[in-house]
Structures are given as C-alpha cells and as structure tokens.
C-alpha cells in the first residue's frame, strides 16, 4: 500500500514508519516538527520507499498520487506543563490537530477511498470511575479543565471519524492508546516513565507524588505498534484499546526502575504535586483487541526497560 502517516517524526509515528516500510509498503511521512524530531526519521533518508513532507496537518494538505491508507498521529501529547512541546503550552495547536487535522485527513480518505486510522488516547476516559476501562465506557471528563485541550480534541476527532464513516462510508478505525514507552520517546515528556528512568540513570532519588498509590499500565512500543498495524489491516470501525493490562502503582514502578538500573539513591515523596484531573487509575480492558485482532502485549516491563535504557543513556550523554 501507499500510506500517509501524519506526525511521522514523533515517537509513535517514526516507529510506524519503520514497521510499515519493513513490510514493503510505500510510506509518506508528514510532520511540522512542532513536537516531532528530525532525528527520529534521519535513518530513513535515502530510502526510496519513504517520502517526507514538512507540513502542518491543520492547514490544507495535498498529497500527490493515490493514497491507500492514512494514519493520523499528528498532535502534541506531552502532559508536562514545563515542556515547550507539551499541550499545556500548545493548546490551540493541539485542538487544531485534533479537529482541523482530522478533518483534512478524512477529506483525503473520502476522496481516495482510503483506510483511515485515528490515533486516539486513553485520556478520553478522563479520571475513570470504571476500572479497568472498556471501550464502551464514555468517560469522566472535564471539557474546560487544564487537560481538556488534549482530551477534548481526541474526543472530537473520534466523533468526526465516526461521522465520516456513518455518513460518507469512509473506512475508519480508532485506536485508543494507553501509556507507551521505548526508544525515541521524549525525555521531557512529563509522564512517569521518562521522569523516573531519567532520574535513575543520573543516580538521583526518584520523585514519587503523593504516596505513590496512583496506578498506570506500561506498554512497550514494539507491542503497541503491532496492535496498531493489526487494526489497520482489520475491518474494525469501533474504538479499540491497545495497551498493557498489567497495572501497578507508581511506587511499585519506581522501585522496579531502581532495581533494574541499579540506582541506590532511593525514592523521595512529594505532596500536592498531582496535577488537576490527572487520572488516579489507568488500566485498559483489552478484550476487544484480543478477540478481534488476536493481539496482546508480549514484552514484560523489565525487558522493555532494558531495551529502552541505551536510548536514554545516549540522550543523556552517558553512552
């Protein structure tokens, strides 16, 4: 196939480029580098099956030639208020990527009769009152809260994709992505894994907010990409959760990071640092992915962390 990937220079987008090129497809990457990095796709220079366009997907986009599939992954995603590339500091751009960007991509999909896959997020569930989260759960969200620019952009994008499917017959699919980690992720992302792994590799105490009883589920990027590609190849139209169902507290996670890295600096607890509407619990119900796609994660946390460490060490100047 000839496949367009928006957000191609991002963490997940760049891994998708690699996977689909390896399977023999022609890939058209699109990114404006507002959050993505040229380093993530530098290794693809000279690949005759890869073409890149520096474009803002929120503006009118034109892709010459036939497009068989579109994977819309362009969006700021970092919840770190201190990050210049996080959605707290790019609120309008985030909303535009979810609304205008999705609309532009769906327009191409309608014209070209393309398969369209939307990268959505577990954040559409908000701070959930149902656990684990199933695709049928509508969420517990705040449309005007601090995190709403990201959450609501994705919720609107899902609604728009389903409207194009139901009204125009566009072949759409939606992946709801849970916490993912691995090489090429932003060290300043603001999520638990990059924060804690970076501290551990620098020999610092790991910072845990509150008493560390909030939970997360961590999926290694290679597993996530496999689930996304399976969804792309499927006939499924309704949202599908892709993530690791193994839930652990942040304190347990910090202890595992210290053990795996051999960090002896321990853990420090900080009170009152949990941001507004930061979900207390996060765990996917992946029954649909298992049933429809035959997918489930294969990489355990220790193996995934060990495969991620060399990238972090190189970025931190420790290699």
Task: Say if CB 104 and CB 38 are below 8 A apart.
Answer: no
Condensed to tens digits (0 to 9), the pLDDT of residues 221-264 reads 999 999 999 999 999 999 999 999 999 999 999 999 999 999 99
CA distance 10 to 2: 20
Do the bridges between strand 247-249 and strand 215-217 make them parallel or antiparallel, or are there none, so unpaired? antiparallel
pLDDT of amino acid 272: 61
Q: Is the pLDDT of residue 275 over 70?
A: no
The three-state secondary structure class of 317 is: coil
Task: Say if CB 69 and CB 116 are below 8 A apart.
Answer: yes
Q: Is the pLDDT of residue 278 over 70?
A: no
Condensed to tens digits (0 to 9), the pLDDT of residues 167-220 reads 999 999 999 999 999 999 999 888 889 999 999 999 999 999 888 888 899 999
| Global pTM value | 0.95
Which of 5-9, 53-57, 76-80 has the weakest average pLDDT? Answer: 76-80
Residue reference for tokens 């899902």: 158
Query: Pick the catalytic residue: 150, 164, 181, 220?
Result: 150
The percentage of the chain sitting over the pLDDT mark of 90, rounded to a whole number, equals: 85
Q: Is the pLDDT of residue 94 over 80?
A: yes
The percentage of the chain sitting over the pLDDT mark of 70, rounded to a whole number, equals: 98
Domain 2-184+220-245+283-298 sits in CATH 3.40.50.720: yes
pLDDT of amino acid 80: 83
CA distance 171 to 115: 5
Break the chain into its structural domains and give their ranges. 2-184+220-245+283-298
Question: Is position 137 annotated as part of the catalytic site?
Answer: no
């Amino acid at each position: 196939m000839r496949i367009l990937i928006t957000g191609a220079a991002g963490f997940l987008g760049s891994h998708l480029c690699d996977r689909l090129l390896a399977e023999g497809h022609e890939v058209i990457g699109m990114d404006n580098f507002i959050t993505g990095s040229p380093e993530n796709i530098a290794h693809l220079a000279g690949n005759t099956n890869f073409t890149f366009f520096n474009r803002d997907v929120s503006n009118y986009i034109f892709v010459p030639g036939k497009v068989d599939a579109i994977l819309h992954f362009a969006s700021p995603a970092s919840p770190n208020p201190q990050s210049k590339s996080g959605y707290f500091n790019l609120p309008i751009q985030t909303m535009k990527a979810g609304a205008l960007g999705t609309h532009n991509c769906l327009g191409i999909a309608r014209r070209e009769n393309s398969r369209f896959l939307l990268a959505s997020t577990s954040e559409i569930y908000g701070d959930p009152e149902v656990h684990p989260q199933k695709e049928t759960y509508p969420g517990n969200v705040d449309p005007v809260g601090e995190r709403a620019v990201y959450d609501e952009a994705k919720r609107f994008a899902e609604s728009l994709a389903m409207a194009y499917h139901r009204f125009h017959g566009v072949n759409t699919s939606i992946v709801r992505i849970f916490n993912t980690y691995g090489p090429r992720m932003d060290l300043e992302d603001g999520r638990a894994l990059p924060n804690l792994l970076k501290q551990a590799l620098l020999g610092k105490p790991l910072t845990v907010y509150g008493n560390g009883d909030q939970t997360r589920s961590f999926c290694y990027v290679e597993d996530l990409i496999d689930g996304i590609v399976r969804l792309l190849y499927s006939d499924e139209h309704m949202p599908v959760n892709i993530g690791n169902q193994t839930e652990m507290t942040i304190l347990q996670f910090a202890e595992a990071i210290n053990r795996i890295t051999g960090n002896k600096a321990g853990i420090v607890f900080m009170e009152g640092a949990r941001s507004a509407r930061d979900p207390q619990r996060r765990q996917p119900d992946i029954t649909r992915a298992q049933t429809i796609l035959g997918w489930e994660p294969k990489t355990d946390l220790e193996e995934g962390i060990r495969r991620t460490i060399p990238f972090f060490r190189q970025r931190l100047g420790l290699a």
